[in-house]
Amino acid sequence: MLSTGPGFRCLLLAVLGALALVPAAHAASPGVNVNGVPTSSNVDDVIASGSKYARFFVLWSDVEATRGAFDPLLLSTYEDQFARLNAAGVKPVVVIMGAPSWANGSSDRFVPPRNAADFGVFAGAFAAKLRGKVAAYEIWNEPDEAASWHGGAPDVAKYAALLKASYAAIKAADPAAKVITGPTTGNNYTWIDGLYDNGAKGSFDAVAVHTDTACLDRGPDFFYREGGQIGQYSFLGYQTVHGVMAAHGDGDTPIWMTELGWSSTTKTCGRGAWAGKKPAGVGEAGQATYLKQAYHCLSFDPYVQVALWFDLQDLSAADSELNRYGLLRADHSQKPAWGAFHDVAVNGDQLTGQCAKLDGPAITVAAPTDGSVYADGLFMKASASDPNLHSISFYVDGKKVTGFSGAKIQGGRFVSMLWHGASNLSYGTHTVTVRASDNIGNVSNQDVQVTHVRRGDLNSLQPVQLRVTVRGKGLIRRVTGRVIAPTPPGGRVHVMFQVRIKGKWRTRHLVSKNANRPFRVTQHLARPGKWRVRVRFMGAGLYRASTATARAFAAR
């Protein structure tokens, strides 16, 4: 388990979907990490916990300090204790890492070997001696971070060579054993993408991730986004990893979360980017709560097959973040997390309800309707509902037209606009997209197809109704009215006062009004005579031009 500051690059992957609202029957098989080599005592604890898997580190430098000579006592310890675990139905997982000085030319065991083939030879030889006793081998630990990969920056190409050599050797020695990628620090989807780019596909049976990152004090349902995807240091970021795998045609390969956990310390964070700025843990009660919630969250995603708690027992009695991840205290007494883990391991996930809200706001599009046509301006109107609603935006053909936020969109309020720029679009079909987002980065979209037509193509446009009333006496007349349409039509209404001269109606007064609102005009007529009022909606957006004429009257 390592700490790191974020260093991200965005992936343009549209592969991820939202979590289902009803839990699936599947739950990841629970297991534990064990400090040090297997002993009678810690194997007893693993069995008592109900764990289905137990993960141990095997350092090449300890097993084969001298080339060609395995430590017989250490090898015998692994054989005997793994046999006990197998007899109890617990599957051992071995992390092979480190290199002896003869292989890497260094006294630092965490410097990778100069020759990937040498590592493969050791991995195959070890697997042959433990044939049938080890369920899975992880190749190195967190090779994506300098804390475990010394002697230079982590190198995905160099690691991929190590993985490929190990896979071939282990499968030759023990075909039933699985080979797992070196687990990433957090859900490092960028690193996994690099493995595929370096030809590692087909050289692993599962992808491993770690989610017990430094000073984690938020629950498994908390997440943030990077470039639209769930971020590396979010517990749920394994979904982004799976998206990368699917994008490489490997979506059926499972994920193993070989470390998950929360420290029970109550101290302040002492390392990483959050040193001195936040709690380093969640306390013992919080640890137990988050343990159960984490396995519940994993139950929604059956491609996560195995999840191993970090770790079985606290490292020491000293209260610090790294010392307090255990299910057992340093004095071997049980924390609340022990009971929580045992319950999950024996009885399965008992929680109900969704894990985290990953879906965007619910959108209602009032205008335009799907399949509608417009000639000039395009009227758009929509609302969205979400307890954390952040914004509503309108896009046409992928380009943003406008957006709304704040109080004007809350409570399901509709926002709208008449976009005159739509008249500049090419004639034909266009896509209007209403996009709504919440405060945690969830986004939803709703598309509507519209067709831009020429104003003269009246058959494609919808009609409106005009309601007109004329009142008054003498030379004063008052006209009230409105344009009746399914949605605000936009455009203008011309109110024309016409007088009869030599058998023809002549317009003497013209007033233009906004067609979106009821209109009112008071006019002093130019002269006595026979008059009438004509109202013409000039046509706009989805609607064709229309005319209404009120009954003629005599003005004196």
pLDDT one-digit tens code per residue, 469-505: 999 999 999 999 999 998 888 888 999 999 999 999 9
Ramachandran class of 411: left when φ > 0, alpha when ψ lies in -120 to 50, beta otherwise: left
Q: Which two tokens stand for residue 488?
A: 């605000």
pLDDT digits (tens, 9 = 90+) for 284-295: 999 999 999 999
Predicted local distance difference test score (pLDDT) of residue 542: 80
pLDDT tens string for the chain (556 positions)? 433 333 333 333 333 343 333 334 467 999 999 999 999 999 999 999 999 999 999 999 999 999 999 999 999 999 999 999 999 999 999 999 999 999 999 999 999 999 999 999 999 999 999 999 999 999 999 999 999 999 999 999 999 999 999 999 999 999 999 999 999 999 999 999 999 999 999 999 999 999 999 899 999 999 999 988 999 999 999 999 999 999 999 999 999 999 999 999 999 998 878 788 899 999 999 999 999 999 999 999 999 999 999 999 999 999 999 999 999 999 999 999 999 999 999 999 999 999 998 899 999 999 888 888 888 888 899 999 999 999 999 999 999 999 999 999 999 999 998 898 999 999 999 999 999 999 888 999 999 999 998 877 766 788 899 999 999 999 999 999 999 998 888 888 999 999 999 999 999 999 989 999 999 999 999 999 999 999 999 888 788 889 999 999 999 9
Residue whose entry in the numeric block shows the structure tokens 């009609």:
463
Ramachandran class of 113: left when φ > 0, alpha when ψ lies in -120 to 50, beta otherwise: beta
Q: How far apart are CA 236 and CA 230, in angstroms?
A: 7
Cis upstream peptide for 143 (omega within 30°): no
Ramachandran class of 269: left when φ > 0, alpha when ψ lies in -120 to 50, beta otherwise: beta
Nearest-10 Cα torsion for 221, 227, 233, 234:
10
Nearest-10 Cα torsion for 42, 266, 5, 258:
20
Whole-structure pTM value = 0.76
Per DSSP (E only), the strands in 249-350 are: 255-260, 304-309
Cα distances (angstroms) measured from residue 88 to each of 66, 92, 125, 149? 34, 11, 26, 35
Closest CA to 90 of 30, 130, 40, 131: 30
β-bridge partners, 33? 55
Q: How far apart are CA 171 and CA 163, in angstroms?
A: 12
Nearest-10 Cα torsion for 458, 463, 465, 466:
-20
Domain ranges of the chain: 29-347, 364-452, 462-555
CATH number of 29-347: 3.20.20.80
- CATH assignment of 364-452, among 2.60.40.10, 2.60.40.420, 3.30.565.60, 1.10.3720.10: 2.60.40.10
Q: How far apart are CA 292 and CA 307, in angstroms?
A: 12
Provide CB contacts within 8 A for 347, sequence distance 6+.
Answer: none
Closest CA to 161 of 192, 105, 199: 199
Q: Does domain 462-555 have CATH number 3.30.70.1090?
A: no
Provide CB contacts within 8 A for 248, sequence distance 6+.
Answer: 193, 196, 201
Q: How far apart are CA 348 and CA 556, in angstroms?
A: 92
Buried b (16+ CB within 10 A) or exposed e, 518-537: ebebebebeeeeebbbbbbb
CATH fold match for the domains 29-347 and 462-555 = no
**Under a CB-based contact definition with an 8 Å cutoff, are residues 61 and 67 in contact?**
no
